[in-house]
């Protein structure tokens, strides 16, 4: 199979997928701690009535987005065995491909949601689902872009959010300081000061249920994130002094002097589900890649890094459109990124890859 970035597969019918995966799907994590997307896949499999087994002892995610709440993982736990209709190997914690012995001829796919997933490399004949994908940089292999998406608990918790017009006219900026979030640092310096001349910016560090309540009572949520990567492979000193570092960060194709990595986040999906006007970097201009793309000013409010002043001006010029954009954003997220549509899409990709 040729090396290429791959668009998501055209969906099979639900009946065809139930039949193809009737023998069940096994979700495996080397650390026994699968990540958010694997948990959402399990939720979708359960909803479809497709048998699912896993070695998971727990699932890692944010509390507000935690999948499999109320599900007894012990009832799903079993050693990995041959004969399943499909296998998903979650390598997010290491971001490193390792073949699984005994599964050479099985329908197998790998998953990485690592902050550095853009650098994950796998053989061309291995299907790799990866978050934070970019049209501006390609590491090679048979990659399919995915988003963090929504868990069942997030959908249910935000079902009764306040109508937009009854919410506080404020922008929620609920980021906690962390490493490798250059985009947020940049916009704290160059975007937020101008924004808060026009609207209150709430910097409260909400946690747990109070965070979701704050989302559902705010008109705007700042939901961007990411860090910048420059082309190390163009630096002759590093190529000589640190060749392995350069090799680990080498792309088969690189179409910009810098790209934004780790741009996806739970907050983006939580904001959409809560019915906020969701503010994020412009997906198209930034090279972000999802299987179903959101449209600027249709599903979210974009920030153009090349024109921050213009982005703020346009945001307030379109204030009358905020309620409709927020409503369309929620509908788009539920239609394409709730557990069921996400699972149908991933199963279709697996079936297509192994046809």
Best CA proximity match to 341, nearest among 52, 62, 54, 147: 147
119-152 pLDDT tens trace: 999 999 999 999 999 999 988 889 999 999 999 9
Contact present, 98 and 84 (Cβ < 8 Å): no
pTM: 0.94
Containing 211, the helix (H) or strand (E) segment is helix 208-216
* Distance (Å, whole) CA 148 – CA 264: 7
* Distance (Å, whole) CA 348 – CA 342: 10
Number of residues in the chain: 355
pLDDT-derived band at 10 (thresholds 50, 70, 90) equals low
* Distance (Å, whole) CA 85 – CA 175: 41
Higher pLDDT, 301 or 3: 301
Domain range list for the chain:
4-149+338-353, 154-226+262-336
Q: Which CATH class is domain 154-226+262-336?
A: alpha beta
* Distance (Å, whole) CA 32 – CA 23: 22
151-172 pLDDT tens trace: 999 999 999 999 999 999 999 9
């Amino acid at each position: 199979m040729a090396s290429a970035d791959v668009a998501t597969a055209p969906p099979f019918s639900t009946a065809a997928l139930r039949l193809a995966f009737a023998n069940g799907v096994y979700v495996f994590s080397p650390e026994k701690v699968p990540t958010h997307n694997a948990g959402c896949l399990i939720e979708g499999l359960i909803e479809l009535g497709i048998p699912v087994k896993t070695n998971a002892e727990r699932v890692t995610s944010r509390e507000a987005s935690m999948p499999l709440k109320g599900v007894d993982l012990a009832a799903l736990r079993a050693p990995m065995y041959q004969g399943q209709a499909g296998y998903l190997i979650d390598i997010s914690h290491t971001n490193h491909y390792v073949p699984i012995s005994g599964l050479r001829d099985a329908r197998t796919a790998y998953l990485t949601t690592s902050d550095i997933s853009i650098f994950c490399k796998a053989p061309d004949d291995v299907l790799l689902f990866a978050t934070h994908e970019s049209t501006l940089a390609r590491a090679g292999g048979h990659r399919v872009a995915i988003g963090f998406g929504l868990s069942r608990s997030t959908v249910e918790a935000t079902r009764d959010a306040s109508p937009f017009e009854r919410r506080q006219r404020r922008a929620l900026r609920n980021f906690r300081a962390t490493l490798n979030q250059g985009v947020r640092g940049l916009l704290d310096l160059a975007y937020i000061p101008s924004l808060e001349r026009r609207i209150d910016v709430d910097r409260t560090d909400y946690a747990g249920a109070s965070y979701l309540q704050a989302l559902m009572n705010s008109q705007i949520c700042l939901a961007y994130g990411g860090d910048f990567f420059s082309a190390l492979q163009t630096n002759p000193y590093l190529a000589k002094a640190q060749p392995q570092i350069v090799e680990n960060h080498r792309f088969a194709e690189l179409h910009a002097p810098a790209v934004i990595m780790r741009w996806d986040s739970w907050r983006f999906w939580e904001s959409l589900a809560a019915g906020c006007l969701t503010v994020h970097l412009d997906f198209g201009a930034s090279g972000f890649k999802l299987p179903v793309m959101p449209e600027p000013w249709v599903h979210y409010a974009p920030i153009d890094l090349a024109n921050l002043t213009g982005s703020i001006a346009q945001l307030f010029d379109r204030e009358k459109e905020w309620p409709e954009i927020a409503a369309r954003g929620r509908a788009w997220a539920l239609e394409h990124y709730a557990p069921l549509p996400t699972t149908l899409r991933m199963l279709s990709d697996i079936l297509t890859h192994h046809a």
